[in-house]
Chains A and B, each alone.
Chain A
Amino acid sequence: MNWISNYVRPKINAIFSKKDTPENLWTKCPSCGMMLFHREVKDSLYVCNGCGHHMQISSTERLLSLFDGGIYSPIETEDVLEDPLQFKDTKKYAERIRETRKITGEKDAMVISMGDIGKLKVTVAVQNFNFMGGSMGMAVGNSIIAGVNNSLKHKTPFVLFSAAGGARMQESILSLMQMPRSIVAIQSLREEKLPYVVVLTNPTTGGVTASYAMLGDVTLAEPNALICFAGPRVIEQTIREKLPEGFQKSEYLLEHGMIDQVIPRDKIKNELIILLHILMKKPRAIRGNIKKAGEEKSSALK
C-alpha cells in the first residue's frame, strides 16, 4: 500500500465510478448517444439538443407545455369492467394491469384534460406509451368518448396526441371494438363542426392508426415517428425484402400524402393556436402574447 492506492485511487474511482454520479441527472440520447443534462432535456421538451431526436415525453409534461401557464383541469372518464375476459397469458391480465398502475401512477393509457391554448379553450387527449405500450383497450375508448363529450359540452376543439403499439391484446375482441367505438365518438365532433386535430407521435401503429388516429380534420406528426398499420418487421417477413430507409416514418408519410405536416415538438403549441383559431373562426391570436413553448414550460414547472 502506498499513497497512490490510498489516496489517488479513490479519487480516480470517484471520477469514473457511476455510483457517485446520480443517474437521473443525465440522459443519454438513444439516437446520437449524446449525454444530456436533465434540466436541459426537460426544457427542450425531451428533444435532443444534438440531433433533434424526439424522446418519449410523459403525458403530464406534454400537458404542462401545451396549456397556457401550465394550467389545465383533468376530465373524469368512466371506469371500465375489470378484465371481463379473465385473460391470462404467462401472467394474469388483472395482475399485469394492477402492477402497471402502481408503477405509472396512471389509471390507463389515455388522459383527458381541458385548458386554454393561446387563450382558446381546448380539450386534449394524450396517449401514454409508458402504460402497456399505450395500447387501446376499453379504457382508451372510454377516454375518447369522455373527451369528445367534454368537447361537445364546452364547444371546444378536440386535440389528440396518439402513441400506441396498437390494440391491447389482453382485451381481445373488446379492444378491436374500440375502433368503431372511437369513430362513433369522432363522428359526433364532425356533426357539431368542432375541429378534431391529431398529433401523431412515436410510435402510432396497428388498430390505433387504423381508427381514430387517421381521421383527424388536420393531422400533424412529430419528426421521425413510426406511423403505420403493420409494423416493419411483419412486412419484412411477408415480402422477404429489406424496407427502404425512413419507411413508415413521419417524413415518409408526408411525402406519400398521408399527413398534413411534420412539426417539431416545440412548435406544436404555436401551430395549434393558429390553426384552431382559424377553424373556430376566432379573431387572429396576437402572436406577441404567445410565449414560446420552452419558456412557458420552464415557468410552469418551477
Chain B
Amino acid sequence: MQHYLEFEKELATLEGKATELRSGNSSSGNPADNREAEKLEKKASNLLKELYNELTPWHKCQIARHPERPHASTYIERLMSEFIPLSGDRKFSEDKAIIGGLARLNDLPLVVIGHEKGNDTKSRIEHNFGMARPEGYRKATRLMEIADRFSLPVITLIDTPGAYPGKGAEERGQAEAIASSIEKCLQIKVPLISVIIGEGGSGGAVALASSNKVIMLEHSIYSVISPEGCASILWKNSDKMREAAEALRLTAKDLSKLGVIDEIISEPIGGAHRNIDEIIPRVGIAIERSLKKYHKQSPEAILEDRRNKFLNIGKLRL
C-alpha cells in the first residue's frame, strides 16, 4: 500500500480508483475499464507533476520524512558492495540509530556512516527512529578514526529528526558526544562527503555533516530545529509549523544560496521514494564526482579545505 502525504489526497483518490479498475479488470477483462484506468492514471501523473512543481517548505518536510523514502540502509545495500558492518562505541553499547562500516563504492574502499530510521514498526524501534544516543555519535567518531588511520574516505548519509532527548542519553553526555563527533569530523585528513538523504535534524545531523562537501537531495531538509519545535517556541503555537518551515529556510535551494550546502541532487517526480532505481545511481555519481576532486590533494589540504568551508559560512545573503 502506497503511503500518501496530506497534500496528495486527490492523487490518492485518482491512483486508488485506477488500481481498483485494473484489478477488477484482470478477472472480467473489460476494455472500457482499462481505458478509464488509463485516463485516470494520466490525470494522476499530471496532478503529481503539478503538485511537485509548487511544493512549499512544509510539503518538503513531509516528503523528507516520508516512511517509504530510501534510507541509509537502502543506499548502502544498493549503491555499495562488500559492506562490513562495524558496531559499538567500545565504551557502553551499540546504538543502531547510527549504522556504519567498511564498504566499496564501485571499487573504491571507504567508510560509510549513516542515520538509520528503519522501515517498519519493529525496525523503527530497533533504530530508535534515527535518533541517536551518545553511543551512536561515539561509534561514528570511532569509525572516522579508523578511516583516518587507513586513509579511507568517509561518506555520511544524514537522516535524523535529531539527537534522542532521553534521561540516559543526557547522563552519558549527549552534548559531549555530539561536540566530539563534530570535532572528529574537523580533524580527519581524509575526504569527508555528506549526503542529506532525508531529514537533517539539528545537532544530531551536524555531528556527522561537518564535511568537505554537503550534498542534499532536492526534497530533503536541513535545519537547526524542526518546524513544529520552532513554531511552539517562537509562535507559542505548534500549529504554525507551515510558517516556521517557511521562515527557517530549510530547503536545499535556500541552503545552497546561503553557501551551507554544495550540491543538490534532483529527485524523480513525486520524490525519491517513487523511483528508487532512479535516485540511487544519481547519489552514487554525485559522491564519486565529489571524491574525485580530493584525489590529488594532500591530507593537510583536504582538512584545510573543510575547516575553511565552515569559517567562511555566513557571508552570503538569500
Q: Which residues of A contact B (CB under 8 A)?
A: 80-81, 84-90, 138, 141, 145, 167, 169-177, 179-181, 183-187, 206-207, 209-215, 227-230, 234-235, 238-239, 243, 247-248, 256-258
A169 to B313, CA, bound (A): 17
Which residues does chain A contribute within 8 Å of B316, judged by CB atoms? 81, 84
Binding-face segment, B34-42, B44-52, B173-181: B173-181
Which residues does chain B contribute within 8 Å of A86, judged by CB atoms? 318
B250:A173 contact, CB within 8 angstroms:
yes
A90 to B233, CA, bound (A): 11
Best-buried of A80, A169, A212 by chain B (most CB within 10 Å): A169
A169:B175 contact, CB within 8 angstroms:
no
Tell me if B10 is interfacial: C-beta within 8 Å of chain A: no
A181 to B308, CA, bound (A): 9
A210:B179 contact, CB within 8 angstroms:
yes
A247 to B171, CA, bound (A): 9
Which residues does chain B contribute within 8 Å of A177, judged by CB atoms? 206, 260, 310, 313-314
Q: Which residues of B contact A (CB under 8 A)?
A: 163-167, 169-176, 178-180, 182-183, 185-187, 202-203, 206-207, 210, 222-225, 230, 233-235, 243-244, 247-250, 255, 258, 260, 307, 310-311, 313-318
A256 to B92, CA, bound (A): 14
Q: How far is the CB of B206 from chain A (nearest CB, A)?
A: 5
A176:B182 contact, CB within 8 angstroms:
no
A174 to B163, CA, bound (A): 19
List 16 extra interface pairs beyond A183-B183, A183-B210, CB under 8 A. Answer: A84-B318, A174-B313, A176-B202, A177-B313, A180-B182, A180-B210, A181-B314, A209-B179, A210-B179, A212-B179, A215-B183, A230-B174, A235-B165, A238-B164, A238-B166, A256-B172
B224:A169 contact, CB within 8 angstroms:
yes
Main secondary structure of the interface of A (DSSP, over half): helix
Chain A residue with Cβ nearest B202: A176
Which residues does chain A contribute within 8 Å of B307, judged by CB atoms? 184, 187
Which residues does chain B contribute within 8 Å of A180, judged by CB atoms? 182, 185-186, 206, 210, 310
A207:B203 contact, CB within 8 angstroms:
yes
A248 to B173, CA, bound (A): 10
Chain B residue with Cβ nearest A208: B175
Which residues does chain A contribute within 8 Å of B178, judged by CB atoms? 210-211, 229
24 inter-chain pairs at a CB distance below 8 angstroms, sorted by A residue, are: A81-B316, A85-B247, A87-B247, A90-B234, A141-B314, A167-B224, A169-B234, A171-B224, A172-B247, A173-B223, A173-B250, A177-B314, A179-B210, A187-B187, A206-B203, A209-B179, A210-B178, A210-B182, A228-B175, A230-B169, A230-B174, A235-B170, A238-B166, A247-B170
